[in-house]
Chains A and B, each alone.
Chain A
């Protein structure tokens, strides 16, 4: 892992090369993370992959998260791995909620890392995050005709009410 000063060096180099691409960093639980501008995420990922001395050539995971009460609401996380040095680096794109009826969008990194194909589809399926330029952006786990983004925090959890003794007063009294 890059330690906290190493993380700052990476962030400074990135900011010098791509203006305003890394607004902040954080280092928690022994793992460094770059918080990047979603418009420049492809530049950052490409630089981290190809620059000598960095060479994070393996994309271990792409996943999304919903931080509903806070802003920006959505996060897309890229877990990079340098196999020879066994170093991991997290790149996090923070996406604001574009409002009702629109999807948060950022560029797809399938061109850089082909393994991101299914994982971006999963993020799209569960969180409704649109990856621009993805070759085949459609649902992967939920049925094709499903409506809604079920892993968002404001999505109803579903299920049916069950009659227990603690809530029998609130339930419909079918036996009356």
Chain B
């Protein structure tokens, strides 16, 4: 399916200087295409100029990474920064991560924005389990990454003790720019090296939801061993 891109480049070099005559030719081609009269070599040139080829996996990764919907889930003071991240000033809609979904079934990114108490950990784990694959977790701030200043009996010392964390964002709290930087890092990870996902790092191949549920089984519930 993949067409060699180098060949296309050779046919229609994109970096050639664009003269007014060149632009005029393109304009005429486009007009003829709309009229249904563009044929032959002109049609080929027109399509080659406006096409970009890639593999399906890359397109899928690109689409996933640019539409990560976070769950509406705030834990502590970091959540204030998380909220301002989606506001008009920082506007993470530019990276497609602004649609905070009120249901974990519709979200694919969990931002752990604050300290995770021992009592909250099973709740977060349940929310994480309810999210659909593929899903990602950002540990925002020092507390959810390592326990932070709360080195005591009530706070989990690092959220990666009970959920697989993809990105750790330092700061106390991180500024919205830092959170967006973390999201961009996650996008790069999804696009560039998807094999570095958490399942490989945590040795959890085979724990996907579809792998745990037998086909035609109990309708999506956890499979009994």
Interface residues, chain A, CB within 8 Å of chain B? 141-143, 146, 148, 150, 155-160, 162
Distance between Cα atoms of A153 and B47 in the complex (Å): 76
Distance between Cα atoms of A155 and B154 in the complex (Å): 12
Distance between Cα atoms of A142 and B155 in the complex (Å): 11
Distance between Cα atoms of A156 and B151 in the complex (Å): 11
Number of interface residues of B (CB under 8 A): 10
**Mostly helix, strand, loop or mixed at chain A's interface?**
loop
B115 shortest CB reach to chain A, Å:
12
Contact of B151 among A141, A155, A157 (CB under 8 A): A157
**Mostly helix, strand, loop or mixed at chain B's interface?**
loop
The 24 listed contacts between A and B (C-beta, < 8 Å) are: A141-B119, A142-B118, A142-B119, A142-B154, A143-B118, A143-B119, A146-B118, A148-B153, A150-B153, A150-B154, A155-B153, A156-B153, A157-B151, A157-B152, A158-B152, A158-B154, A159-B147, A159-B150, A159-B152, A159-B157, A160-B147, A160-B157, A162-B146, A162-B151
Q: A143-B118, A143-B119 are in contact. Are A157 and B157 (CB under 8 A)?
A: no
Identify which of residues 132-157 in chain B touch chain A, using a CB-to-CB cut-off of 8 Å.
Answer: 146-147, 150-154, 157
| Residue of B with least CB distance to A151 | B153
Which residues of chain B are near A146, meaning CB under 8 Å?
118
A157, B118: Cβ atoms under 8 Å?
no
A127 shortest CB reach to chain B, Å:
14
A140 shortest CB reach to chain B, Å:
11
A156 shortest CB reach to chain B, Å:
7
| Residue of B with least CB distance to A159 | B151
Identify which of residues 30-44 in chain B touch chain A, using a CB-to-CB cut-off of 8 Å.
Answer: none
Which residues of chain B are near A160, meaning CB under 8 Å?
147, 151, 157
Distance between Cα atoms of A34 and B118 in the complex (Å): 38
Other A-B contacts than A142-B119, A157-B153, 19 sampled, CB-CB below 8 A, are: A142-B118, A143-B118, A143-B119, A146-B118, A150-B153, A156-B153, A157-B151, A157-B152, A158-B151, A158-B152, A158-B153, A159-B147, A159-B150, A159-B152, A159-B157, A160-B147, A160-B151, A162-B146, A162-B151
Interface hub of A143, A148, A157 (most chain B Cβ within 10 A): A143
Distance between Cα atoms of A157 and B157 in the complex (Å): 13
Which residues of chain A are near B154, meaning CB under 8 Å?
142, 150, 158
